[in-house]
Structure 1
Amino acid sequence: MTQTLLETDGLTVRFGGHVAVDAVSCAFRAGELTAIVGPNGAGKTTYFNLISGQIPSSAGSVRLMGEDITRQGVAERCRKGLGRAFQLTNLFPDLSVLENVRLVIQAHQHKGFSLFSMASSHTELTTAAMAVLDRVKLDRLKDQKVSELSHGNQRKLEVALLIALDPKVYMFDEPTAGMSADEAPVVLDLIAELKHDTDRTILLVEHKMDVIRTLADRIIVLHNGALAADGPPAEVMASDIVQEAYMGKELDDV
């Protein structure tokens, strides 16, 4: 039986009298990419924020590999294997691309700044960081400051930092937003590559139906903060309620 890596049970958040996420219960399994879709204001990003710890829940729970992490903060969830790309963006904007990735790898490996091991560790960390940058096609920009990167290359760096963190759960919130047609395939190919690791799970908030069709193993639909549909892509996309109420005319081209 495929292992459940992440689970939300009745996850809810209220802002005053408004219920932004309404008792959402979902289990996310290893080796599966789940696309989370729905109209604007459906609660997709808020649901992501609850899972990653950006905002506290009003009710319900989040479990990571069987452990209740509902009351834990972003940093603790990250250490335990929950990775969200934007958490890492511009970690050190005045340092180079290489230095940013190297620091994430160093933190993940719990290596300090001991002078006795600095030389060998520095070489090892640099080699590992360059391997990650090569995967996201940023190796030629290794010496450029993060603050000077184009928007598209910053999004690539988000993926690089997330890969360097080596989480059990990857969370991508519209990873190609604002990217050019030439830049987007690099990120999408990387996400597709990450799917090959059957010990991990991927959550993807995305509006582009062609991206969802290509990558998703499963789709869940949120509407007014509640879970409206959950199942295989073909089944969910063909659903009348999804086409008419949640996805609109975009699905006509899928």
Structure 2
Amino acid sequence: MPQPSLMTSDLTIRFGGHVAVNQVTCAFHPGETTVIVGPNGAGKTTYFNLISGQLPATSGTVHLGDTDITSMSPSSRARHGIGRAFQLTNLFPQLSVLENIRLAVQARSGAGWGLFRPAHKLTQLKQSAEKYLAAAQLEDKAYMPASALPHGGQRKLEVALLMAMEPKIYMFDEPTAGMSLDQAPAVLDLIAQIKADPDKTVLLVEHKMDVVRALADRIIVLHNGELLADGAPAEVMASQIVRDVYLGSATEETA
């Protein structure tokens, strides 16, 4: 097993007397897609927020490779290789689809915002952006304002933005939330492209069992903020305690 690309050790957060995430220790590895499941209020999104820096931990640590990132801001974590997509899309709505991606490429390249950048640099940025535009199958929407895209198109664009940032860790919080059955496969295909890269680590929070089955190499189950189960999908899904706590009710909800 290679060295973990990401690890949380005894990660905990308290809100007053409520412990939302309780001493969760978990290691994630390159080339592995881990889906985090659990009932509502289990602590899944809070755990994501602790990893990406939206919330400060009460105790415990987060390591990216050998680097302790526990005290880093979300922007610093992003620069170190944490890429996060949220339940709600996070785009520049009045800019074109292509410009959204170009800005992500520009940020990753460290090109900054200078007004007197050489023309060939702009061309390189545009060409790189067009590569991610093609990967998301949004070429025909390149000059459309991002706000004019349907919901499914906006989710695809958000994944393309993450790809353009080329993070080490990809984090998706319910990537198909609010999408129709015919829209979801396009986003799942993009995540499958990322998953195929042996150098990338993918984490998903997801409720839909068909998505879990399609993408998971590994499932971890949170319940009341604690790590209840961790293992191969078939092993975790066969666990009676997991069925009792989560999978049975989820199957009923998605049936």
**Shorter-chain TM-score: what band?**
over 0.9
Change (3 A) 1:214 1:91: closer
SS at match of 1:203: strand
Runs of 4+ in structure 1 deviating by more than 6 angstroms, as ranges, are none
The answer as to whether partners of 2:33 and 2:202 remain within 8 angstroms in 1 is yes
Displacement after TM superposition at 1:151 (Å): 1.5
Displacement after TM superposition at 1:30 (Å): 0.7
* Per-residue CA distance 1:146-183 (angstroms, 9 max, x = gap): 22222211111110100000000000011011112221
Q: TM-score, normalised by structure 1?
A: 0.95
Partner in structure 2 of residue 236 of structure 1: 236
Partner in structure 2 of residue 98 of structure 1: 98
Partner in structure 2 of residue 193 of structure 1: 193
Partner in structure 1 of residue 181 of structure 2: 181
**1:79-228 equivalent positions in 2, closer than 5 A:** 79-86=79-86, 89-114=89-114, 117-228=117-228
1:51 aligned partner, one-letter code: I
Size of the aligned set, in residue pairs, is 254
SS at match of 1:42: coil
Displacement after TM superposition at 1:249 (Å): 4.2
SS at match of 2:123: helix
SS at match of 2:131: helix
Alpha-carbon distance in structure 2 between the residues aligned to 1:26 and 1:234 = 19
Displacement after TM superposition at 1:118 (Å): 2.9
The answer as to whether partners of 2:5 and 2:29 remain within 8 angstroms in 1 is yes
Give 5+ residue unaligned stretches, structure 1. Answer: none
SS at match of 1:4: coil
* Per-residue CA distance 1:96-131 (angstroms, 9 max, x = gap): 111111011011011134555431011111111111
Change (3 A) 1:88 1:135: farther
Alpha-carbon distance in structure 2 between the residues aligned to 1:251 and 1:86 = 24
Displacement after TM superposition at 1:91 (Å): 3.8
- RMSD between aligned residues: 1.8
